[in-house]
Every structure is written in C-alpha cells, then in structure tokens.
Amino acid sequence: MPASANPPRNARILIVSDMRLFSEALGLRLGQHQGMSVVAVVECDAALSVAADLEPDIALLDVGELEGLAIAQGLAAQHPDLQIVAIGAPASAGAALAAACPTIVGVIPREGSIDDVVDLLERLTAASAVHAAEERRPIGKEARASAADAKDALTAREQEILQLIERGLSNKEIARRLRIELGTVKNHVHNVLQKLQVRGRGEAAHSMRKRSAADHGEALDSPIDRGPLALAAK
C-alpha cells in the first residue's frame, strides 16, 4: 500500500446504558465487527465525562432511562458532531426525539434486537456516513428541488411505502399492511433509497417531511441539515 494511502479508521462507539447485561453483550458483539471500535461501555451518569475524554463518533444511548433524553441533549451540547442512536424508544417517537435533540440520527425501537443495532450502525458507518457537521448536505432551494424531482420519479407503490416509512413502520409491518412479501418490500425500500439518493430509511422519511412541508407552504424546522433519522429495519 502506498505510504500516502489513508485507510478509513474504525468508527469510535460509546455505549451508554444502566442495563449492564444488555450493554456488555452489545459491546462484545460490536467489538467483533470490522469498521467499529467500542471505546467504552458506561452507565448513564458517566456518559458526559467519558464522552469528553474519549471523543466518540457515535453514542448508543439507552433513552428508556428517565434521564436518557437529558443525557442526549447534554452530549449534543458538548459534542455537536457526535451522532447519537437512541435505544429503547417507541419507533413512533423518532421524529420527536430528533426534534428534542438534533444529533439523534437513529432509533432502535424497544422491541429491536442487537442485529438491528448492527444493521443501523453499518449504514451510519458506511463510506462518508460519519462526517463533520460542515460536510452535511445543505437544506436549501436547490436541495429541496432535487429531492422533489427524485420523489416524483417514485412509482405509486414506492410512494406508498415511503409514506409508511415516514410513519415509522418496519419492513415486516409494511408487508403486513400492504399484504405483500417481505422480500418485495425490501426491494421497494432499496429502490426508494436509491432514487432519493439517501443513506437510510430515516433520511428518506426526513426527505418526505421536507417535501410535504414545501407543498403546504410550511417552514422547515431548521435552516441547517440536522442529519438523517434512521429507523432500524425489521
């Protein structure tokens, strides 16, 4: 390998939960995954101090604890570029969590599994997924026009599935709702993400919310890109 080549570094992950059995099992699983480095597994009351010392890229935060959201907001204030994945929240709470804490980029529902965590982290740690705030795509007229053009390219079924994604439904729930095969749903979701040129389900949902707001003449929540909100697929 040429000396000038810079291989991508592993994403540094902090796990925060008072449920020791879960957090340690999750740490062991992620520690075996290429591209991810678990820098610490800590209880909620140690999250802020440990994050200050270790400067992780991603924090997996148990928001099922009473102080979970307050910790997320503290981490966001302390580390604006830190990506936070909320664990243990209802899938439908994703939009509310993102509104309360802009650096929450993903939600693992309380019924989710470790495999769901791994899947979401793979998407977040893919090429260019872990990045600084100034590298995020701007939300401006040009970006909104591009998203609108991409959404117009969706088929009727893909738009229907995008609406269900925006409502927080998993692939299995969409398959049951539309009475189609799970594999068919996955294919449609893949096509939606490609056409919208987004990295995950949450960012697709965010794109749809922006388009809906523009269609109704509503203001966007913020003049800056608050990042994708990805929901674990099931």
Q: Which of 132, 163, 191 is the last residue of a domain?
A: 132
Tokens representing residue 156 in the block? 């009727």
Q: Is 215 found in the same domain as 158?
A: yes
Which pTM does this prediction carry?
0.54
What confidence score (pLDDT) does residue 80 get?
87
Burial of 132 (0-12, 13-18, 19+ CB in 10 A): exposed
Q: Is 153 found in the same domain as 176?
A: yes
Average pLDDT (139-148) is 43
Long-range contacts of 146-149 (CB under 8 A, 24+ apart): 146/197, 147/196, 147/207, 147/210, 147/211, 148/211, 148/214
Q: What is the mean pLDDT of the chain?
A: 75
Q: Is 186 found in the same domain as 76?
A: no
Could you tell me the residue range of the domain that residue 157 belongs to? Answer: 137-219
Q: Is 164 found in the same domain as 66?
A: no
Q: Is 199 found in the same domain as 110?
A: no
Tens of pLDDT, residue by residue over 93-143, are 777 887 888 888 888 887 778 888 888 888 777 644 443 333 333 333 444
Domain assignment present for 168: yes
Tokens representing residue 114 in the block? 């470790």
Q: Is 150 found in the same domain as 50?
A: no
Q: How far apart are the first and last CA of the chain?
A: 39
**For the chain, the helix, strand and coil percentages under 3-state DSSP, each to the nearest 5:** 50, 15, 35
Total of domains in the chain: 2
Instruction: Return the number of other C-beta atoms located less than 10 Å from residue 36's C-beta.
Output: 20
Domain assignment present for 170: yes
Q: What are phi and psi of 32, to 5 degrees?
A: -95, 0
Domain assignment present for 228: no
What confidence score (pLDDT) does residue 138 get?
36
Domain assignment present for 232: no
Where residue 173 sits, what CATH number does that domain have? 3.40.50.2300
pLDDT band, very low/low/confident/very high, at 49 (cuts 50, 70, 90) = very high
Tens of pLDDT, residue by residue over 200-211, are 777 777 666 656
Whole-angstrom Cα Rg for the chain = 18
CB 205 within 8 A of CB 193: no
Domain assignment present for 5: no
